[in-house]
Amino acid sequence: MLLDGVIPDSVAFLSVLNGFSHGGQLEMGCQCLGAMRAEYGVDPAPEHWSCVADMLGRAGLLSQAEEIIEAMPGSPDSVVWRALLSACSVHRDVARGARTAEMDSRASDGGAHILMSNIYMDNV
């Protein structure tokens, strides 16, 4: 993209951050987030912060992920809470999972309750 002279926009950065998140490349993802504003003048939107929170959660940095979510501009949606809850399940953090499930319980699909049940079952 850059080699072709195309300047990345908000959507391009979201795709790249998502790739870093799913690829486990935390350091590269953080560098990308920093470059968004510093080098390209793109301010991170809530969906960028959600992706960063997901990336931190996947890396096991649950407290940092929770801090990012709580500091996000606007009100975090159920997608970002569900990502943190999934990370709590993977990393067996019952206390944080319970707090997160409470925040995610506003979603009407019941997914938070199922994930929390799984966390409890895995820690019996």
Domain ranges of the chain: 10-122
What is the structure's pLDDT at 108? Answer: 57
What is the structure's pLDDT at 78? Answer: 84
Residues in the chain, overall count:
124
Residues of the chain with pLDDT under 70: 104-109, 124
**CB–CB of 16/34 below 8 Å?**
no
What is the structure's pLDDT at 111? Answer: 73
What is the structure's pLDDT at 33? Answer: 94
What is the structure's pLDDT at 44? Answer: 93
Give the pLDDT confidence of 50-80 residue by residue, as tens digits. Answer: 999 999 999 999 999 999 999 988 888 888 9
Indicate the angle between helix axes 78-90 and 94-104, nearest 10 degrees: 160
CATH architecture of 10-122: Alpha Horseshoe (1.25)
What is the structure's pLDDT at 17? Answer: 97
Q: Interior CA angle at 57 toward 53 and 58, to 5°?
A: 120
Cα 108 to its chain centre, rounded Å, is 21
pTM confidence score: 0.85
> What burial class does residue 28 get, using C-beta atoms within 10 Å of its C-beta: 0-12 exposed, 13-18 middle, 19+ buried?
middle
